Amino acid sequence: MSWEYVALGDVADVFNGKTPAKKEQRDAGHPVLKIKDVNLTGLFKGEFQSFVDESLAEKFNAKKLIKDDTLILNAAHNADYVGSKQYRAESEVVGSLPTGEWLIARGREGQLCPRFLNYWLASGEARFKLKQLVKGIHLYPKDVMRLEIPLPPLKEQKRIAAILDKADNLRRKRQQAIDLADDFLRAVFLDMFGDPVTNPKGWAVQRMGDVSSKITDGTHKTPTYTSSGIQFLSAKNIRDWGIDWENTKYISQEEHEQLIKRCNPEVGDILLSKSGSLATPALIDVDKEFSLFESAALIKPIKERIHAVYLLHFLRSDSGKYLMLKSSKGVAIKHLHLTDLRQLEILVPPMDKQQRFVTLVNRYVSLVDKSMSSKSNVGDIFQSLSQKAFSGQLSGTTLVGAEREMDCPKA
């Protein structure tokens, strides 16, 4: 089924928020939503950090957030990060004033379902198009308004949004379970090995370069991006919970073959953000072909000296992050140098102690997976449904089948 495509500006209002001047900011009053008030998984952190007088907020009443507004990061110190963070306005932020670093897209009542717009802007196709609109380090409303969006009847928009809601809720529940497991394993690591900074148990200390066969990073040249092809990861794809495979860029197979010689990532290697969300590590646990940008470091642990899972949790510990951040360079924008990573001191307990921890990690992760998994991967289901939704394939009986799939995932 083919749908009409219309300019986004014909069915939605697109505008920037308002950043209050320093003299206008208050310790209490009307809440202001900053970029940092939203976490990397797209959820409000639960507490506002900035406020303005009610009179100022009323002056910009039209910019106050409405539930399900779509917010997009429209400016950053690096063009690669522009558009990388998106947020759907939750009930907790309704009425707050978004800062000017947010671009807001608001579907017009009776024409565009806000939830349909949320999911379309988060789709791979729309994210790719948004990236093409970035000028310097900015994304402007007048350019976003020219984007063409598929426009099925309003009733069908709502049905599609409801289906994607179910898939998204499954993803969020899975993430909550992962977060709880992460907190538990951090506590276990600290109990078994002690604080990496003070080393109360007297473990051997080695430099990371001595327990790794290679520490490198990705290409220092910005490649030519494509709408599909080989996934291209940067620091923004390295999250506290793992690697974000859903929101990557793409490059051609030919360009990938030229870049892969630099680092050649494999299962069991560790990725580490050198900038952005600094010093965030993630384990490569799937056999997938991809390339890296310079903002991501690649660490290849020597398995006879240190277990990759142990090293991952060492780097994820509060003290591990502290040690890395301590060695970072820069004033306004912090970054890690490969030389400093190679010199980073790592606690290296005997291998049997490491293996005991790894066994515990595997058992706990397995329990979480069993409680949250279905035969089909939740993320894959969501991506499949999203792709079908915006290509006009979720309609009629297909919609009913999709609803049944989300209600009753196969065991």
* CATH topology for the 204-348 domain: Adenine-n6-DNA-methyltransferase TaqI; Chain A, domain 2 (3.90.220)
Domain boundaries, the chain: 4-151, 167-191+352-411, 204-348
Do domains 4-151 and 204-348 share one topology? The answer is yes
Q: How much helix, strand and coil, in percent to the nearest 5, is found in the chain?
A: 45, 20, 35
Give the containing element (helix H, strand E) for 104: strand 102-107
The answer regarding whether domain 4-151 maps to CATH 3.90.220.20 reads yes
Q: Which two tokens stand for residue 407?
A: 């209600």
Stretches where the chain sits below pLDDT 70 are: 1, 175, 178, 276, 330-334, 368-411
Please tell me the predicted confidence (pLDDT) of residue 245.
87
**C-alpha to C-alpha distance for 76 and 330, rounded to whole angstroms:** 17
10 Å CB burial of residue 125 (0-12, 13-18, 19+) is middle
Please tell me the predicted confidence (pLDDT) of residue 346.
93
Please tell me the predicted confidence (pLDDT) of residue 80.
77
pLDDT in tens, 190-239: 999 999 889 999 999 999 999 999 999 999 988 999 988 999 999 889 98
Q: Which residue has tokens 């979480």?
A: 368
pLDDT in tens, 159-203: 889 888 887 887 777 767 767 777 888 889 999 999 988 999 999
**C-alpha to C-alpha distance for 320 and 324, rounded to whole angstroms:** 6
Tallying the residues shown for the chain, one arrives at 411
